Amino acid sequence: MSAPPEDHRRPESEPPGGLVEVLQRWELAGGHWKVLRSSDTWMDIGLYSCDGAEQMSHVSGARTSVLRGYLAGRTSSAD
């Protein structure tokens, strides 16, 4: 089963537990993530399949100090 077209995907905004928890769970499950858009206050992050080939979903949320610390300058899980 393939993912729906991108315009039909709905991002999770401010996911429970925050973006750091979502990214950690996604990586533990074998997935990859990549920062899609970033401002001083907000981030959009794409969640990709285990092989990194297909964007499965994305999450959006505030760019908190906890998130900045977790990313430590990284823009993807491959960094």
pLDDT 10s digits, 9-57: 444 445 556 899 999 999 999 999 999 999 999 999 999 999 999 999 9
CA distance 78 to 10: 24
Contacting residues for 46 by C-beta, under 8 A, at least 6 apart: 33, 34, 35, 36, 55, 57, 58
CA distance 42 to 20: 13
CA distance 71 to 46: 14
Residues 58-72 pLDDT 10s: 999 988 889 999 999
